[in-house]
């Protein structure tokens, strides 16, 4: 089995939005005798199911990955799976379930020796938990978890991408609070950083937040310009999953 070839093909197909063929490639991995490769296969199948809006199958394949991870007693990977399950529930707007699994992820990471990498995993999960509270309009709780997450991410020198993500989510909290000018001030340096580091996914996500803020403060021409730019950028993104997520979130911003 050529693991690298299969996983690269599966990722490419999933990014293109071809979840049916991607699923078939990931499924090949579960035949491997290497348990880590099997886990990658089930996690990939879960992601394809999520993109196909099938929560039942998403959870089924994560459960299979979880079973293997527990057999290996790999707590770090178990924490990752609990976080992924939580994010899947969030994707389907099941925020109480998302909260439950993200907290299970946190408990798992906290049971580990705190290396820089585990601090990063802890921080990422705390930030994602904060977003579930934003969706539930529990803004004080959201802010608490964003700040905790950012502190833990600061302990990992290579977490600059996730620290930017944390700041982006904090800006979303300010958006919900209708502090649109503050949001623009917060995200302007994030746009510059994401552009300079070629983080195109994050750039277009942050730009969509800026476009919505401009519309809210009645700067219609600037907002329209940014929305047109977003439309062009989405065509060039290498991930249909991210492109669809940006469209969905921009629509949400503009309605609220």
- What the block records as the tokens of 190 is 């994030």
Q: Which residue has the higher pLDDT, 116 or 125?
A: 125
Considering 155, 177, 199, which residue would you say is the last residue of a domain?
A: 177
Domain region containing 56 = 1-73
CA atoms of 208 and 225, how far apart (whole Å): 11
Q: Are 167 and 128 found together in one domain?
A: yes
Q: Are 133 and 192 found together in one domain?
A: no
Q: What angle in degrees, to the nearest 10, is found between the helix axes of 75-91 and 35-51?
A: 10
Q: Are 184 and 170 found together in one domain?
A: no
How far is the CA of 198 from the CAs of 193, 194, 241, in angstroms? 8, 6, 18
Query: What is the rounded (10 degree) CA torsion for 167, 86, 120, 3?
Result: -120
How far is the CA of 104 from the CAs of 43, 160, 169, in angstroms? 18, 25, 21
Q: Are 129 and 209 found together in one domain?
A: no
Q: What is the pTM of this model?
A: 0.91
pLDDT tens-digit readout, 176-215: 999 999 999 999 999 999 999 999 999 999 999 999 999 9
Considering 13, 42, 73, which residue would you say is the last residue of a domain?
A: 73
Q: Are 57 and 131 found together in one domain?
A: no
pLDDT at residue 66, as a whole number: 98
Q: Please tell me the total count of domains within the chain.
A: 3
What's the CATH code of the domain at 20?
A: 1.25.40.10
């Amino acid at each position: 089995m050529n693991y690298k070839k299969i996983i690269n093909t599966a990722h490419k197909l999933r990014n293109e939005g071809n979840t049916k063929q991607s699923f078939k490639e990931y499924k090949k991995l579960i035949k491997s005798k290497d348990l880590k490769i099997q886990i990658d296969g089930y996690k990939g199948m879960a992601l394809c199911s999520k993109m196909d809006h099938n929560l039942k199958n998403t959870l089924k394949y994560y459960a299979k990955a979880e079973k293997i991870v527990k057999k290996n007693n790999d707590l770090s990977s178990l924490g990752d799976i609990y976080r992924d399950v939580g994010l899947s529930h969030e994707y389907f707007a099941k925020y109480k379930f998302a909260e439950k699994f993200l907290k299970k992820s946190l408990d798992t990471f906290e049971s580990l020796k705190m290396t820089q990498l585990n601090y990063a995993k802890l921080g990422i999960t705390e930030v994602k938990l904060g977003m579930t509270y934003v969706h539930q309009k529990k803004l004080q709780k959201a802010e608490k978890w964003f700040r905790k997450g950012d502190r833990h991410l600061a302990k990992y020198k290579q977490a600059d991408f996730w620290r930017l993500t944390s700041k982006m989510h904090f800006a979303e909290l300010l958006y919900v609070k209708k502090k649109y000018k503050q949001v623009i001030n917060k995200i302007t340096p994030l746009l510059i950083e994401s552009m300079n580091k070629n983080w195109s996914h994050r750039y277009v996500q942050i730009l969509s937040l800026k476009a919505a803020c401009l519309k809210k403060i009645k700067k219609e021409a600037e907002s329209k310009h940014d929305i047109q730019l977003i439309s062009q950028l989405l065509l060039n993104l290498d991930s249909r999953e991210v492109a669809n997520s940006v469209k969905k979130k921009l629509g949400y911003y503009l309605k609220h």
